[in-house]
Amino acid sequence: MSDYIEQLLEELTNAPGPTGFEGPVRAIVRRELAPIADEIATDGLGSLIARLDGPGGGPRVMLAAHMDELGLLVRRVTPEGFVKFQGLGGWLDQSLINQRWTILTSQGAVLGVTGIKTVHVMTAEARGKVFPRDDMFIDVGATSAEDAEQRLDIRPGDPVVPESRFVPLAGGKLYLAKAWDDRVGIGVMIEAMRALHTQEHKNTVFAVATVQEEVGLRGAETSANYVSPDIGINLESGVAGDYPGITVDEAQEKLGKGPAIFLHDISMLPNLKLRDLCIEVAREAGVPLQFNVLAGYGQDGAAMQRSGSGAPAINIVVPTRYLHSHHGVIHRDDFDQAVTLVTALVRRLDAETVTRVRAFD
């Protein structure tokens, strides 16, 4: 049974928004937050900043989620009409090959495929090897460089986005789609703002949809400078470790067991007073909370944390399978509970609590 949230998540994940080319996602976020926000602005890099005023000012609480997804960029077209590309974001070579892609030209979308040589002509040794990305190309059906450039309008620098459509799995609560990283965070942020708009809170809340996270938290850096947050709450796709081939020491989240907070990733250590507050708020709200201690990963919370003279930050996530590929999976209950948690956490924050969290002995 599809409801408006499922439809919003479908629209958000189907929207093309590779790193640096987040326009279609920004339009959705603006449409959803403009009727709610007291002010909407963009910074000089393209992040969208929606401010929601509580009564009488209050601490500056920054929510952030990134709009960009992994993509590619056209490098050149070969004389035979095949498109060579540059990767945008952290792709595995295995995830790039034999997939559908959309090239976003100034004249519109052009579909293509990263073809792979057929197994019939491969040696036994070649069959066991990973196909390296430098050998890859996108076949758009062009007959020559002129055909690709003149008829299809493909130019160097055009962004390329994975082609993959939202679909519920087994007709139920698992949602299969591209770009959960980080459209799931964008969805949580929109729904938390909708809830905060109708409920009492004592903060100046900034919901920031950032750009260019996947190439180094670039939009979070500039937008955090714009906001100057007292507290940073980042909303992300988490790392589920509940399928074959991944171990519980690599990732501890499971789908359907609630949202999680990161206690370590390579970019950030969370503020432990914020961690404890989050645990307390989750318990009171009846939200199951998971934890993840990751050896890798990076996220926008790190940029908020290091903005100005520093701000306590935490990263709240919705567990996600198969990140950084054409196809990820989330659980709808985890999404709904993340919205409940983030809303309750912001409502719990006030001048006194923020002063306590920001205090160091």
- Give catalytic residues, as residue numbers: 213
For the bound state, the minimum distance from the C-beta of residue 134 to Co ion, rounded and expressed in Å, comes to 25
Under 8 Å between Cβ of 298 and 217: yes
Under 8 Å between Cβ of 319 and 260: yes
Q: Computed over its alpha carbons, how large is the radius of gyration of the chain? A: 21
For the bound state, the minimum distance from the C-beta of residue 145 to Co ion, rounded and expressed in Å, comes to 35
CB atoms within 10 A of CB 221: 21
**Which among 206, 169, 184, 157 is positioned nearest to 51, based on CA atoms?**
206
H or E element at residue 277: helix 272-285
300 binds Co ion (CB under 5 A): no
Where are the alpha helices (H) located in the chain, listed in sequence order? 4-14, 23-33, 93-96, 124-127, 145-146, 180-198, 218-227, 272-285, 301-305, 332-348, 351-358
Under 8 Å between Cβ of 290 and 257: yes
Rounded-to-10 torsion of CA 223, 224, 226, 229: 140
Distance of alpha carbon 11 from the chain centroid = 14
For the bound state, the minimum distance from the C-beta of residue 236 to Co ion, rounded and expressed in Å, comes to 5
For Co ion, the closer of residues 14 and 353 by Cβ is 14
Q: Which range touches Co ion (CB under 5 A), out of 108-116, 128-136, 178-186, 282-290?
A: 178-186
Q: Which range touches Co ion (CB under 5 A), out of 176-184, 249-257, 333-341, 350-358?
A: 176-184
For Co ion, the closer of residues 181 and 265 by Cβ is 181
Q: Which range touches Co ion (CB under 5 A), out of 55-63, 87-95, 161-169, 182-190?
A: 182-190
For Co ion, the closer of residues 10 and 182 by Cβ is 182
Q: What is the 3-state secondary structure (H, E, C) of 73-121?
A: EEEEECCCCCEEEEEECCCCHHHHCCCEEEEEECCEEEEEECCCCCHHH
For Co ion, the closer of residues 181 and 221 by Cβ is 181
For the bound state, the minimum distance from the C-beta of residue 185 to Co ion, rounded and expressed in Å, comes to 7
334 binds Co ion (CB under 5 A): no
Any bridge partners for residue 313, and if so which?
Answer: 232
For Co ion, the closer of residues 112 and 162 by Cβ is 162
For Co ion, the closer of residues 181 and 191 by Cβ is 181
By CB neighbour count within 10 A (0-12 exposed, 13-18 middle, 19+ buried), where does 44 fall? exposed
Q: Which range touches Co ion (CB under 5 A), out of 175-183, 188-196, 252-260, 305-313?
A: 175-183
Question: Pick from 10, 69, 181, 265: which binds Co ion (CB under 5 A)?
Answer: 181
For the bound state, the minimum distance from the C-beta of residue 280 to Co ion, rounded and expressed in Å, comes to 26
Q: Which range touches Co ion (CB under 5 A), out of 119-127, 164-172, 174-182, 198-206?
A: 174-182
253 binds Co ion (CB under 5 A): no
Phi, psi of 224, deg, nearest 5: -70, -35
Question: Pick from 182, 221, 230, 334: which binds Co ion (CB under 5 A)?
Answer: 182
Number of residues that bind Co ion (CB under 5 A): 2
For the bound state, the minimum distance from the C-beta of residue 137 to Co ion, rounded and expressed in Å, comes to 27
Q: For residues 18 and 174, what is the distance between their CA atoms, to the nearest angstrom?
A: 24
- Helix 272-285 to helix 351-358 angle (10° resolution) is 140
Q: Which residues bind Co ion (CB under 5 A)?
A: 181-182
